[in-house]
Structure 1
Amino acid sequence: MKIHEYQGKELFRNAGVPVPDGYPAFSVAEAIDAFKKLRKQTVVVKAQIHAGGRGKGGGIKIANSREEVQVYADNILGMDLITSQTGPEGKCVQRLLIEEASYIAREMYAGIVLDRSNSKFVFMVSTEGGVEIEKVAAETPEKIVKEWIEPNENLKTNQARKLAFALELTGTQVKHAVKTFLSLWKVFKEYDCSLIEINPLVVTKTDEVIALDAKINFDDNALFRHPDIQEMRDLSEEE
């Protein structure tokens, strides 16, 4: 089972993973209300579908005023958004995330998945954020650094530090990244996830480490333990 970015970010936020402030919107009026609540001059209007590549498809826009939020929300809601992951028919956008803009210094990648070949979990990071990780794996696999985690163990602090240093982070960035990685692992284990990806994970111009995206898949066989997660299911995305 998959959930939307805004739902994933709510799980992240509750676990202590830094994410930008934002609100979901199901209509143009709700998008404008979200802009007002954020009290920020610049926001990002983001289409919410179960697919990547939304920016290239025209599903992510930066807005600098209430009027721009209205125009972008009106254009994106109801559009058939075509990305590299949707197929030629695209997916109809029925909800948005209105989010404060982040001032990015660097883009990176972080992800957790089950490595079925050796029955261990693997926490992966890469300095190549904003690029499809499959492309990085195919063209420059040396830029993906991995730490394996035994099924009955947790991500250790020294492993999180290794991952932070692999991203060439320094100073307070390392401290922030370690905390973020440990919190991500908490989400992964607590909710029986099968995959977590943040692409991009960013360093801001004030040295914060923030999850700018949130992709979470869950183990269908464990959903009975998580009725709160089942309530997040968007059946229209599974048709």
Structure 2
Amino acid sequence: MNLHEYQAKAMLARHGVAVPPSKLLSDVSQGSEADELPESADDRWVVKAQVHSGARGKAGGVILARGAEEVAAAARKLLGSRLVTQQTGPAGLPVEHVLVEPGADIRKEFYIALALDRTLQRVVLIASSQGGMDIEAVAEQTPESIRRVVVNPTVGLQAYQARQVAFALGLESGQVRDLVRMLLQAYQAFIASDASLIEINPLAEVADGTLTVLDAKVSLDDNAGYRQQALWAGRDVNQEDEAEREAIEHGLNYVSLDGDIACMVNGAGLAMATMDLIKHAGGMPANFLDVGGGTSAAKVTEAFKLILRNPRVEAILVNIFGGIVRCDLIAEGIIEAAREVSLEVPTVVRLAGTNAELGRQMLSESGLNLTAEDDLAKAAEAAVALAKQHRGAAK
């Protein structure tokens, strides 16, 4: 689960990390008067759209305002809109809150993150002296400017490791002390909150030489939601893909993609292999969908409903290995689901495992728009061919 910037900063502040004073606005009529805004020495504020996406500044989601009237105007412009960034896709994300903070005279921007490296099975501290909106370009063009420190989970992040990072960033003595304290506090927040990512970008050096957290992003481990109920109470479902959210409710693992061949598979590894074969055959997968090992007719029906909500889908490839559950039962579920949703999109079903031949026979005799296959590569090729035919017929 992702947190909004204002939630991420509040979480860090609870663990001692100093964050700028701010005001959260959901309604321009309340809280945008000068005496209600956070104190600003030069009457400048920054109004930031609260959406689960980076690159907000480039998309017009961060507005510099001089005076309370400009703050109110900026809030009116953003609230109720949909912000389209490089990360959201063309539909964008709804802006229901804006965060107002005093402007800062930035001398230098740094990048700081704590991330879970699943390959190393360790938390990794990542830092760069080149923070800001183009951090992705920094990682690609000058990877040598990025410092990585692997944290031993037994002892946690150590002060000497934090000092090494501060020295690598070229900080002065007072700033070194402040950054060490901040990193140790952020690590404690990471562990206590079951986070998978805490990103501070930029961490800014301002005119008086102090370090300020200008933006923060936090992602929490979904598997730990049961013990982080206070944080999960702030979940903003309006920022999440509707289909992915409904999939979770039905015990399905679903991720929307940009292609036009939908996939329905039992098993995450098999799903990845299925998508690879679709691409190898010249197609593009429309989704990742794992219905689980012990799937049922009800799950298959919900999976078809999710798939068919995507208007780009031109064909469906169902790939089921019948180990835990028999293929004839899966075939029966597919037939029931296809009838319930009035399936018209051409669908290729590859069955392998227990009673696979009987399952394929049931599909062939169903009278529905279902093509049974026993070879996965041939099934992928058939799905790509049927998608092209369906696309051509639609034109």
User: Could you tell me the TM-score, scaled by structure 1's length?
Assistant: 0.96
1:140-192 alpha-carbon deviations (Å, 9 max, x no partner): 11010011012333100000000111111012111111111111101101101
Letter in 1 for 2:148: K
Q: Equivalents in 1 of 2:37, 2:60: separation in Å?
A: 25
Q: Equivalents in 2 of 1:34, 1:94: separation in Å?
A: 21
Pick closer, same or farther for the CA change 1:197–1:34 going to 2, 3 Å: farther
Partner in structure 1 of residue 128 of structure 2: 126
Partner in structure 1 of residue 30 of structure 2: 30
Q: Equivalents in 2 of 1:117, 1:34: separation in Å?
A: 50
Pick closer, same or farther for the CA change 1:36–1:147 going to 2, 3 Å: same
Q: Equivalents in 2 of 1:15, 1:206: separation in Å?
A: 24
From 199, 202, 205, the equivalent of 1:203 is: 205
SS at match of 1:30: coil
From 225, 234, 237, the equivalent of 2:236 is: 234
- Structure ranking higher on relative contact order (CA contacts 8 Å, 6+ apart): 1
1:171-226 alpha-carbon deviations (Å, 9 max, x no partner): 21111111111111011011010001111011111111111111000011111111
Shift in Å, 1:37: 3.7
Contact map agreement 1:31 1:73 (CA 8 A) in 2: no
SS at match of 1:70: helix
Pick closer, same or farther for the CA change 1:44–1:31 going to 2, 3 Å: farther
Letter in 1 for 2:39: R
Shift in Å, 1:80: 1.5
Partner in structure 1 of residue 109 of structure 2: 107
Q: Equivalents in 2 of 1:217, 1:191: separation in Å?
A: 10
Structure-to-structure mapping, 1:167-182, within 5 angstroms: 167-182=169-184
Q: Using the TM superposition, name which of 36-45 and 192-201 deviates more.
A: 36-45
Contact map agreement 2:34 2:68 (CA 8 A) in 1: no
Give aligned pairs, total: 239
Q: Which runs of 5+ in 2 are unaligned?
A: 243-395
Q: Equivalents in 2 of 1:124, 1:155: separation in Å?
A: 12
Which structure would you say has the larger Rg?
2
Q: Equivalents in 2 of 1:176, 1:48: separation in Å?
A: 28
Partner in structure 2 of residue 18 of structure 1: 18
Q: Percentage identity across aligned positions?
A: 40
Contact map agreement 2:110 2:204 (CA 8 A) in 1: yes
Shift in Å, 1:33: 4.5
Contact map agreement 1:22 1:34 (CA 8 A) in 2: no
1:53-93 alpha-carbon deviations (Å, 9 max, x no partner): 11111111111111101111111111221111111121121
Q: Equivalents in 1 of 2:155, 2:218: separation in Å?
A: 21
Letter in 2 for 1:56: K
Q: Equivalents in 1 of 2:181, 2:36: separation in Å?
A: 31
From 185, 188, 203, the equivalent of 1:186 is: 188
Shift in Å, 1:21: 0.4
Q: Equivalents in 2 of 1:132, 1:2: separation in Å?
A: 21
Q: Equivalents in 2 of 1:32, 1:204: separation in Å?
A: 25
Structure-to-structure mapping, 1:143-158, within 5 angstroms: 143-158=145-160
Q: Which runs of 5+ in 1 are unaligned?
A: none
From 102, 112, 116, the equivalent of 2:118 is: 116
Question: Which 4+ stretches in 1 moved above 3 angstroms?
Answer: 131-134
Q: Equivalents in 2 of 1:150, 1:33: separation in Å?
A: 48
